[in-house]
Structure 1
Amino acid sequence: MAVIRRSRAAPLLALVVTLFLLFGLEYSVPGPPSSYRSSPKLKPRLHFTPSGFNWSAAEQYYPVESLTPLPKGRRTQLPKVQHDFGKHAQRNDAVTEKRRLAVMDAFVRSWESYKQFAWLQDELTPVSAESKNPFGGWAATMVDALDTLWMMGLKEDFFKAAQAVVDIDFSKTEETGINLFETTIRHLGGLLSAYDLSGEPALLAKAVDLGDMLYMAFDTPNRMPGFWLTFENAKNGIQKAGTYDPSAAPTSMSLEFTRLAQLTGDDKYYDAIDRIRAFLERTQEDSLLPGMWPSQINFRSQSVRNGNTFTIGALADSLYEYLPKMFVLLGGRAGAKPYEKMYRRAMEIVSERLLFKPMLKRKPTEPPLLFAGTVYVHDEAGPHLIGEGQHLSCFAGGMFLLGGKVFGIQEHLEIGEGLARGCGWAYAAFPTGVMPEIFNLVQCGPHDDECEWNETRWRDEGGGDSRLPSGFINARDPRYILRPEAIESIFILYRVTGNEELRDIAWDMFQGIMKSTKTEHAYSAIADVTVEGETRKDDSMESFWLAETLKYFYLIFSPPDVISLDDYVLNTEAHPFKRA
């Protein structure tokens, strides 16, 4: 079959980059503010090595006849997201600086152990001081940590790691294929943000190298990708979309592919994810809970009727997270309007059906707390809410805050604060100072102002376990795996409101994590947050520990112009993309 008609922009870019690298010429690149760079012109320090297989030349068995281009035209002047801190309004005293350096120390400690025991591997095992490769063996922690290294001013480590990254051969892996979602958010996202911050052309060339491989996943009969990208299937044209895939998996590539299209001028990347946008928009009212999409979807038949579970947690989270972020990354242009429409409608249903107040022993003067549960839809009974919270769902506070600011929805700002504070409170509720992965709370209605504590009701619904704080029915999954979502929303709430109290909440969270997860070499996931005293370590340190968790802690104790939310959009792995 015919090879897809491709834009000449990407090959031209690769040629230009190669020439500059070969001859050591200065290359003027779009990039971060001058505060991040000593000069608008940089002499490249990195030397790009292409992967062993050129995916851009691979045959497309289901070629695209006409590409949807990036939205053009005038940008909309979007509202400011960040609080007007002013020159002297922010507390930036010795205490704040001490906290920032403490976070940096935790990062350096983790990074040095990774360098010593797991260099070029996906993850460090922080108890046994060995390594493991759950993401293809392509140095996931290293790629994920590049932009954090840059932000912290660890430039020599950045350049050493970045050179190793641009030498990775993405055609070689011990696996038969790779997880499309994880590789996109961690590897492609990491390369793009490292380029946006440093301006090093080899990083963009490597992003194109990887992006062309990931683009092959869309070569299916309906141009919907599967969950896995299997190399032999791609080379032989036998890929198909999944029939029961997590809804967040194919739908959470939009930011990364859009930024790649913006930087290269190659519309094929945007065309790929715009087809997913069209599918979401077309089916939003077709599910068993109109306005939302189920947590698992039949992408092969492009049907959303086969799932009865609705959540903004595991399996579905970043589908919703990316709706307002895509609007921002596209500059609010006409082509971005569907994302606003989908966000408004989805959050209407989330607010009505998924959010709840927990029944707690709290004073009426204390700020209200919110959590997001899970709705199951049964033919006979209709939608039914379970008050099951997830650490993964804690991102939603930041999502509502961003949407509230960008779209001018005051109610969403209030919801976002309630969700962020709910997760911050859950950290403080447990003896380890850390919240569990999954838990159940006694629920009241989302807009129920009267939610007084009732000891009898709590015990009748299964509460009363002496290991659990009042209000909790269980900690169904009591682990903490170094997740970032709670501090993510606290950080965004701080940048939106300028409320200094939030930095104290963040510091308490950080201390709880340090106390509970520290090992001889770095920091580890723990088995149970409900225990008093020493925790059992699970010998796992996922790459998001350096890419997200410690980054958000570092940023909340940094000046507000460091990765301003008015200049950058952060992907679901906390990789900042420069607004176009």
Structure 2
Amino acid sequence: MCPDRVAQLRQETVDMFYHGFDNYMHIAFPEDELRPVSCTPLTRDPLNPRNVALNDVLGNYSLTLIDSLSTLAILASAPPDDRNTGPKALADFQAGVAALVEQYGDGRHGRSGQGLRTRGFDVDSKVQVFETVIRGVGGLLSAHLFAVGDLPIAGYDPRRNGNDLEQNPIIWPRGFKYDGQLLRLALDLAQRLLPAFYTQTGMPYPRVNLRHGIPFYLNSPLHENISLHPNGEEGFPEITETCSAGAGSLVLEFTVLSRLTGDPRFEQAAKRAFWAVWSRRSNIGLIGAGVDAEAGHWIGGFSGIGAGIDSFFEYALKTHILLSGHDLPNRTMPNPAPYGSQLDPNSLYTPLTDEDNSADAFLEAWHHAHAAIKRHLYSDVHHPHYINAHISTGSPQAYWIDSLGAYYSGLLALAGELDEAIGTHLLYTALWTRYSALPERWSVRDGHVEGGLGWWPGRPEFIESTYHIYRATKDPWYLYSGEMVLKDVRRRCWTKCGWSGLQDVRTGEKSDRMESFFLGETAKYLYLLFDSDHPLNKLDAPYVFTTEGHPLIIPRKTGQPKARKKAVEKGVLPYYDEKYTNSCPVPPKLPPLSGSATAARPDFYHAASLIRLHHIPNIHAISNQEMSTVALEKSVAYAMKPRSNHTIFPWTLPPTMLPPNGMCAAMRQQHTSVIEFPTNTQHSVGNTFSLMFGGHNLVRMGSEGIAISSLNGLKITLVLEEPPDYIERAWRVSSIGHLALGRDEKVFITRDVLAEMSDPLFHRIRDSVSVDILLQTEIPPPPRETPTNFTASDSKAQGEVQSNVDMAGSSRSSNIFSSFLQQITSVLREPASTFAPEPAQKPEYEYTELAAILPAGLGAAPLPDVREAPNPVTGVNIESLTWGHVYFADQACRAKLPDAAAKAHQVIVMRRGGCSFSEKLSNIPSFAPNRNALQLVIIVSEDKEDESEGNSWGLNFIRPLLDELQKTPAGILRHNPIAMVMVGGGDKTYRALEQAKSLGLRRRYHVESQGLAIGNLVVL
């Protein structure tokens, strides 16, 4: 894009901002908001205090002015022009600061602290903690940093004599002296929010009254000795539900406030709230949207990147950036203590560790959060986008994207995940091109606005990401994206007294409200996009934009406790993992002709296809350089005729930027297969599952997966997975009926259910490499005074046996399988009336499975053809398994074993090591095969870390090799080679085998469809 065109867009952005700001100052100040359609002030709803959509944000403290100050400071660095933009913006910034001080005082406790409206923020308004922090506290802090020169304004040099700002104020025009009034007001506002942090969890309550605190949260530790009305304020119990974003996105503002004032309360409270949310992430690394600030549990099971969660991820990464290069914070109150310091919620908790306070800890949280998102929420089918999934299982729950999620592409660019950022941003660009705005929710699956949520209140997230990706790539594509946004906003949202939002992006209906973030963020990011030479765009320092778009930085000259440096170096190590991005990548090289690497991407049209642009008339055809190409004799009406051609997006992009010989790669389609089982051929097997599932085919085993008791009438959908997700190409069960599964969820099914299956699309295959050895161990009889029915206290023996399973290294002895067995066992044993105890004189047994691997090589022999041991989940209590006579030979390397070892024992157990496997077998004497003679040799191996990789059987050792044919002690080839298996676990497994009453063999199976294994289906 030519420089003159960029300068014109920059000036149009300035005009857009001032059209909203000047009208606000003229009509609304000192009110909070502006109705741009009706041109009247917008205030809180006094008749309905529970109208949180309005009252959560508005606090009757000139919110829009505070939100706009940092934008004015940024516009003050505008390059010289004939409209005097820069000096005007600086004067307006200084006048805005003076107006705030006049209305609310200077933040002191004396006479000067009383403003025309109130003393500080002493107003009777219940506000949302999150919105007040990001808009109010953040806006005041950012404006303060610009005022004192810690954030740059071109041509503005706030010269001071000495470091004491109050003693040496900055002299502004018209006699105003800036001595830190905004910082003191930010401190006053933040102190009024501290009562919300008095919770049992460390996460703040969602709301607080700026004058009265939290009298409506009666369970707070703040009210332990106070008797209040049980219904709280206004006669209604106050909800305690907050969100991950609201609780965890306070660190940037509160950390800067603590570092600037020396008051540690805010930084520690905000960090503790962040870690309280993060510590509640699910076992697959996802966090939910809603969380109860009192009880600490998730409300609802959804996880995503958008509403309710968005800025939590943002603050994880940006806190790392903000703290980079700084020492650990001071965590003791200054002397003398500041006013109001007796209110300190941190006194309720154990102090945060050095690691919790470090920059690297937040980087680690970001890395793991992004990894979980990429694993469970990211979908590259058709075109990259993010779904909403269940927090614990990762199973898809909804297939819509929301406009708030548009921020994530910009965050990825900051994190160095540039390719993912560019790909996902294309989707939002196509969506904006379709609607000339972003609807609140749009269904990827259905191709239309989701649930009627079609409004766009002027949100900045899409232009924010456009700005960050442009800064990372310098690709002119993003300038045209910004131009598209600017033109569409000017065309659709203009009113005579400001800028409205859109109530419905489809119809163009306006909403009677101008949000403060439109001036504080949307206009700001548009301006910075079109001003590459702005001082902020060239600032080489760890500054960040908050989630409300306010630039923040920790000045180097403030509070660096050098005495703590040694503790930092010793206690907190930099986080590093080869799997994560730890450096910024080189941006794509711009092509020489078209000039846009984004437009030249082979998946360029995939986003347009997913948004269905090719089905939508192009209302911008006349705007896209068509008028000049229309012959003069053709009517304007013909030129304005909508064209069914939306392949060029954003719609401001000139065709010359598209590669003339460009080709579009084939869209990635998921290869699926659907198997439907008849309703009359499969039945539940045995009493176990009919009791467990209550006659149903399926049961969800917590977050571990789905158990199937019968294939009767089921419909299973398979998707084809490719490496690196799977070791080799394999199917994955993605849904059973209408029940969707997460990427890592497993499907459990017993081999009994598959016994009679004969279907080329779904048939079981015996594993030729691994088996399970079943141990039968007698349970000691309970003391006479103890009831014979099973209770929770009887689980000790079960836990000990289970530990043998775990230490054996079996993939089926993982937490998933262990939990599955335990849940089934609990069903089998309770209630006692269903499973009556056996007579006291008859012993009871525990059963444990050990994973075993078969050898390879010339000396390998097939397993004996014996009856398969029963399934331990069925609660069987038989007298004995297949083999009851076991000989323990230690390493069996020194000499020939006794003849009775082979003739009178069915199994020989040996320890690994001392000699080769072939030598161990050669020390077994000759014997005549019979059912009471030797049938199996079990080698017990120690688990070794260096042998745990490259193994697809889930066993913690490599497959043994018998590299020569089996021989007798006399060196003669055996006519009947001995079958051998190897188990892990070392001494613990060896002792467990010694304690076993009998042993059995259970062969493993997997299920294949069309020649490929079903990777997440586990046959029990």
After TM superposition, is the score higher than 0.5? yes
Q: Distance in 2 between matches of 1:277 and 1:174?
A: 28
1:118 alignment partner in structure 2: 28
Q: Which runs of 5+ in 2 are unaligned?
A: 44-54, 77-88, 105-117, 149-177, 222-238, 327-354, 556-1020
Residues 74-89 of structure 1: pairs in structure 2 closer than 5 A: none
Change (3 A) 1:211 1:92: farther
Q: Does 1:576 align with 2:551?
A: yes
When normalised by structure 1's length, the TM-score is: 0.71
2:314 alignment partner in structure 1: 321
Q: Distance in 2 between matches of 1:325 and 1:116?
A: 36
1:512 alignment partner in structure 2: 488
Residues 175-186 of structure 1: pairs in structure 2 closer than 5 A: 175=125, 177-186=126-135
2:506 alignment partner in structure 1: 530
Q: Which amino acid aligns with 1:216?
A: P
2:408 alignment partner in structure 1: 396
Q: Distance in 2 between matches of 1:421 and 1:371?
A: 10
On the 8 A contact 2:284/2:392 being kept in 1, the answer is no
1:419 alignment partner in structure 2: 424
On the 8 A contact 2:458/2:500 being kept in 1, the answer is yes
SS in 1 for 2:438: coil
Q: Distance in 2 between matches of 1:579 and 1:560?
A: 23
2:189 alignment partner in structure 1: 210
Deviations 1:514-568 (A, max 9, x none): 111111221111122223xxx2211111100000001010110012443237532
On the 8 A contact 2:140/2:186 being kept in 1, the answer is yes
Q: Shift in Å at residue 421 of structure 1?
A: 2.3
On the 8 A contact 2:241/2:290 being kept in 1, the answer is yes
Q: Which amino acid aligns with 1:130?
A: T
From 370, 375, 378, the counterpart of 1:347: 370
Q: Does 1:440 align with 2:443?
A: yes
Residues 10-159 of structure 1: pairs in structure 2 closer than 5 A: 93-133=3-43, 134=55, 135-153=58-76, 154-159=89-94
Q: Distance in 2 between matches of 1:215 and 1:233?
A: 8
Q: Does 1:311 align with 2:301?
A: no
On the 8 A contact 1:140/1:186 being kept in 2, the answer is yes
Q: Shift in Å at residue 95 of structure 1?
A: 1.0
Q: Distance in 2 between matches of 1:122 and 1:196?
A: 23
1:160 alignment partner in structure 2: 95
Deviations 1:192-214 (A, max 9, x none): 10011111421112111212222
2:272 alignment partner in structure 1: 275
Q: Shift in Å at residue 172 of structure 1?
A: 3.7
RCO higher in structure (CA 8 A, sep ≥6): 1
Deviations 1:9-50 (A, max 9, x none): xxxxxxxxxxxxxxxxxxxxxxxxxxxxxxxxxxxxxxxxxx
Q: Distance in 2 between matches of 1:373 and 1:136?
A: 35
1:15 alignment partner in structure 2: none
1:558 alignment partner in structure 2: 531
Q: Distance in 2 between matches of 1:171 and 1:329?
A: 28
Change (3 A) 1:292 1:236: closer
On the 8 A contact 1:225/1:240 being kept in 2, the answer is no
Q: Distance in 1 between matches of 2:212 and 2:308?
A: 27
On the 8 A contact 1:482/1:549 being kept in 2, the answer is yes
2:390 alignment partner in structure 1: 376
CA RMSD of aligned residues (A): 2.3
Deviations 1:134-175 (A, max 9, x none): 411111110000011111121222122212223423444353
On the 8 A contact 1:180/1:249 being kept in 2, the answer is yes
Change (3 A) 1:233 1:116: closer
SS in 2 for 1:192: helix
On the 8 A contact 2:199/2:294 being kept in 1, the answer is no
Q: Distance in 2 between matches of 1:122 and 1:225?
A: 24
* Structure having the larger proportion of residues in strand: 2
Q: Distance in 1 between matches of 2:17 and 2:189?
A: 27
Change (3 A) 1:264 1:495: same
Deviations 1:434-462 (A, max 9, x none): 121111013xxxxxxxxxxxxxxxxxxx4
Q: Distance in 2 between matches of 1:544 and 1:493?
A: 21
Q: Distance in 2 between matches of 1:413 and 1:332?
A: 24
Q: Which runs of 5+ in 1 are unaligned?
A: 1-90, 360-368, 405-411, 443-461, 463-470
On the 8 A contact 2:467/2:528 being kept in 1, the answer is yes
Aligned-pair identity in percent equals 28
On the 8 A contact 2:479/2:529 being kept in 1, the answer is yes
Deviations 1:340-366 (A, max 9, x none): 11111111111122223474xxxxxxx
Q: Does 1:497 align with 2:473?
A: yes
On the 8 A contact 2:302/2:397 being kept in 1, the answer is no
- Would you identify which runs of 4 or more consecutive aligned residues in structure 1 move more than 6 Å? none
Bigger-Rg structure (1/2): 2
1:22 alignment partner in structure 2: none
Q: Shift in Å at residue 579 of structure 1?
A: 4.6
When normalised by structure 2's length, the TM-score is: 0.41
On the 8 A contact 1:217/1:239 being kept in 2, the answer is no
Change (3 A) 1:179 1:243: closer
Q: Distance in 2 between matches of 1:477 and 1:236?
A: 32
On the 8 A contact 1:421/1:490 being kept in 2, the answer is no
SS in 1 for 2:544: strand
Change (3 A) 1:149 1:378: closer
Deviations 1:445-499 (A, max 9, x none): xxxxxxxxxxxxxxxxx4xxxxxxxx54757411111110000000000011111
Q: Distance in 2 between matches of 1:239 and 1:540?
A: 36
Q: Does 1:193 align with 2:142?
A: yes
On the 8 A contact 1:148/1:551 being kept in 2, the answer is yes
From 196, 206, 209, the counterpart of 1:227: 206
On the 8 A contact 1:219/1:239 being kept in 2, the answer is no
* Structure having the larger proportion of residues in helix: 1
Change (3 A) 1:92 1:121: farther
On the 8 A contact 1:495/1:560 being kept in 2, the answer is no
Q: Which amino acid aligns with 1:229?
A: V
On the 8 A contact 2:61/2:121 being kept in 1, the answer is no
Q: Which amino acid aligns with 1:316?
A: I
Could you tell which deviates more after superposition, 189-198 or 151-160?
A: 151-160
1:246 alignment partner in structure 2: 243
Q: Shift in Å at residue 184 of structure 1?
A: 0.4
1:28 alignment partner in structure 2: none
On the 8 A contact 2:17/2:523 being kept in 1, the answer is yes
Change (3 A) 1:390 1:326: same
On the 8 A contact 1:227/1:249 being kept in 2, the answer is yes
Change (3 A) 1:426 1:357: farther
Change (3 A) 1:165 1:216: farther
Q: Distance in 2 between matches of 1:561 and 1:216?
A: 40
Q: Shift in Å at residue 332 of structure 1?
A: 5.7
